[in-house]
Amino acid sequence: MERLKLVLQYFQSNSESISNGICIILALVSVKLYTSFDFNCPCLPQYNKLYSLGVMIVPPIILFFLGVLVNRHTGVMMDEWMRPTGNRSKNPAVVKYLFSAMLQRALLAPMVWILVTLLDGKIFICAFSGSVDPALFSGLPNSTGLEVIKIMAKVPCKEDVIFRNSSFRKAVSRYIRCYSQAVGWSILLLLIVLGAMGRLIKPYFDDHATGLQTRYWSNYLDVEQKLFDETCVLHARDFARKCVVQFFEDMREDSILRLPHPPFISNFQDEWEDEEEERLHGVTKQEQVDQLLNKWYYSKPELDVTRIAHRPRTCVTWKDRDGRTLYSDV
């Protein structure tokens, strides 16, 4: 249970972890889809290869675009690429980094599908059974009067009557499956070697400090957009509540009720209203909201928080009657 909590905390820690989790789930879904998919080869010379290539290519394309769609880096990358320059210059290295991260995650599920199909071999048998030389094997059924190419196209269909009590189909299937698995393992080995070589060689060609800066600012863009969205949600909630309360206040009939007004209620109400005004940030009209959102898109603030970081604060110091300091938060 503790390990499960740790895994969930990891995937909830940041958007990159969430994207990794979603891509892993897509890869597992692709395996489940393939195992539950009922593959039926047409067993016709003119359709076998077309159908097989369609099954091997179309689902990976769908999975790739699903990976692009659910990837958080996609939205951040497009926002950074398409936004006007404004007060903040664009960093092409950050856009390249986000594109690379998005592409790597989106390609995981399609590659898993292709590797699973190759290691299984059924699609490869359907596609290339007609390309095998039947002279390499004994026991070719030739009593049916069918052409050799049509007989070879029926190899994936083990229930066909022409292969009853014949070892020819099994031999051809085993031969093609060996090639299919060899291609699958070769692709997997190539990917692992390329990944390992990339990790080993990258430090010799890339500046580590530049890489850290690129990663920092790519994470910053993601966090900034999240915080802006959260602040907008809080502002919209307070703005909507203010509008509703104001509507009901306007509809209420005026009435005079003379009661003593305790001072602590007045103070509490003033503090509550001050807190609401702080959450609204002085933006209290639709025109102001539209202007704010328009300015955020067309003129992002420059990356300089010196003014707010060094904002003066009130310090309290308690002293006794003799002038000795009892407490100070200076």
What phi and psi, each to the nearest 5 degrees, are found at residue 155?
Answer: -60, -40
With respect to residue 38, please indicate whether it lies within any of the assigned structural domains.
yes
CB 153 within 8 A of CB 172: no
Whether pLDDT at 243 is above 50:
yes
CB 27 within 8 Å of CB 20: no
Q: Could you give the number of structural domains in the chain?
A: 1
- Asked if residue 239 belongs to a domain, the reply is no
DSSP-based three-state secondary structure for 87: coil
Whether pTM > 0.85 for this model: the answer is: no
- pLDDT for 192-203, tens place per residue? 999 999 888 888
Beta-carbon contacts of 116 under 8 Å, excluding residues fewer than 6 positions away, are: 30, 31, 34
SS3 category, 143:
coil
pLDDT digits (tens, 9 = 90+) for 72-122: 888 889 988 988 888 888 889 999 999 998 999 999 999 999 999 999 999
Task: Report yes or no on 157 lying in a domain.
Answer: yes
At 249-292, the pLDDT tens digits run 887 655 454 555 555 444 544 554 555 556 677 788 889 999 99
Assigned domain for 150 exists: yes
Count CB-CB contacts under 10 A for residue 325: 10
Domain-located, residue 203: yes
Give residue 43's domain range: 1-83+90-219
The more confident residue out of 15 and 297 is 297
Query: What is the structure's pLDDT at 300?
Result: 86
For position 119, what pLDDT does the model report?
Answer: 94
Within-domain flag for 228? no
Task: Note the pLDDT tens digit of each residue in 146-185.
Answer: 678 888 888 888 777 777 767 888 889 999 999 999 999 9
CA distance 155 to 44: 10
How far is the C-alpha of 273 from the C-alpha of 275, rounded, in Å?
Answer: 5
Task: Please check whether residue 313 lies inside any domain of the structure.
Answer: no
Task: Give the span between the Cα atoms of 159 and 131, in whole angstroms.
Answer: 21
Question: In this model, does residue 325 exceed pLDDT 70?
Answer: yes
The answer to the question of residue 328 being in a domain is no
317 backbone dihedrals φ, ψ, rounded to 5°: -130, 125
